[in-house]
């Protein structure tokens, strides 16, 4: 074989035009968005120095005088996350069983539950919060409810996927020896589901801690309320130390959940 034939061996079977079209289309989307929204990158860059100046002038040094007064809000925030994760994990577990083909043979019921759960999940929690504030007024219950609704949506789907992954083979043995539906569920499905259950629930807790810090911005209680009020009162230094506190909480939560994960999963 001489060199010429080697050079003619293509490395790809696909049409290179198609790849080019896809890349061009993606790029066109960006151009369109920038032009349509009249985003000026020059303004953005020009604004950068004044943003940094503003940040350092107004937010520094962080005002930690009132640090002790934040403690109740921090506890509130964590409390919302705990309550909402707790309640959602129970409800989501039932939904998860109803959604998974492994544990629910009735297709209509599966589809209905799946649809309901996907509505819960696809409305962002901040919108749930804003909606619920109109119904219940400002306060803790709104935050908890908003978190519960979204977490049920998230966990049900994740639980159902994990239950689906438990192979039907393993359950076949229990089906073959005359065990009842609930015995198969409790003796076959749940033991195999435990690691995934711990994992997803801890993950949901992390998300909920973050989310409950933000919920205050729509008046739904927690530490977010403090940020909102302080910024509105131009007390930037104090707002900054609250933000620092939130970052600390989130980092600590991750630390704790990770160590729980390592120990139990």
15 or 169: CB nearest another protein: 169
**Residue 217 lies near another protein (rule: CB under 8 A):** no
Binding flag, residue 41, another protein (CB under 8 A): no
Q: Which is nearer to another protein, 2 or 177 (CB)?
A: 177
Query: Is there binding between residue 180 and another protein (CB under 8 A)?
Result: yes
- Residue 170 found at the interface with another protein (CB under 8 A): yes
Tokens of 237: 């230094």
Q: Which is nearer to another protein, 50 or 183 (CB)?
A: 183
Among positions 47, 50, 175, 248, the unique one binding another protein when judged by CB under 8 A = 175
Residue from 4, 13, 169, 263 in contact with another protein (CB under 8 A) = 169
**Region at 222 (left for phi over 0; alpha for psi -120 to 50; beta for the rest):** left
In this chain, which of 6, 15, 178, 263 binds another protein, going by CB under 8 A? 178
Answer for the pair 115, 235: CB distance below 8 angstroms, yes or no: no
Whichever of 124 and 195 has its CB closer to another protein, that residue is 195
- Should residue 104 be labelled a site residue for another protein when binding is judged by CB under 8 A? no
Among 44, 46, 48, 173, binds another protein (CB under 8 A): 173
The answer to whether 256 contacts another protein (rule: CB under 8 A) is: no
Choosing from 177, 232, 262, 263, the residue that interacts with another protein (CB under 8 A) is: 177
Q: Residue 265, interface with another protein (CB under 8 A)? A: no
**Contacting positions for another protein (CB under 8 A):** 169-180, 182-183, 186-188, 191-192, 194-195
């Amino acid at each position: 074989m001489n060199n010429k034939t080697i050079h003619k061996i293509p490395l790809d079977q696909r049409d290179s035009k198609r790849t080019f079209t896809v890349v061009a289309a993606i790029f066109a989307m960006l151009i369109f968005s920038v032009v349509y929204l009249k985003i000026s990158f020059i303004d953005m860059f020009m604004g950068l120095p004044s943003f940094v100046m503003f940040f350092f002038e107004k937010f520094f040094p962080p005002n930690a005088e009132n640090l002790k007064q934040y403690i109740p809000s921090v506890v509130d925030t964590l409390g919302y996350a705990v309550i909402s994760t707790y309640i959602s994990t129970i409800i989501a577990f039932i939904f998860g069983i109803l959604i998974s083909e492994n544990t629910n043979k009735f297709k209509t019921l599966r589809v209905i539950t799946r649809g309901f759960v996907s509505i819960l999940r696809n409305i962002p929690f901040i919108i749930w919060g804003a909606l619920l504030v109109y119904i219940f007024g400002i306060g803790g219950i709104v935050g908890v409810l908003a978190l519960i609704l979204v977490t049920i949506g998230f966990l049900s789907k994740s639980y159902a996927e994990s239950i689906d992954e438990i192979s039907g083979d393993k359950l076949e043995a229990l089906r073959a020896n005359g065990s009842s539906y609930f015995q198969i569920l409790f003796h076959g499905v749940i033991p195999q589901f435990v690691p995934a259950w711990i994992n997803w629930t801890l993950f949901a807790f992390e998300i909920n801690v973050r989310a409950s810090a933000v919920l205050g911005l729509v008046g739904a209680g927690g530490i977010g309320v403090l940020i909102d009020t302080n910024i509105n009162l131009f007390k930037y230094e104090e707002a900054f130390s609250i933000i620092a506190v939130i970052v600390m909480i989130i980092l600590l939560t991750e630390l704790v959940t990770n160590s729980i994960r390592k120990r139990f999963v």
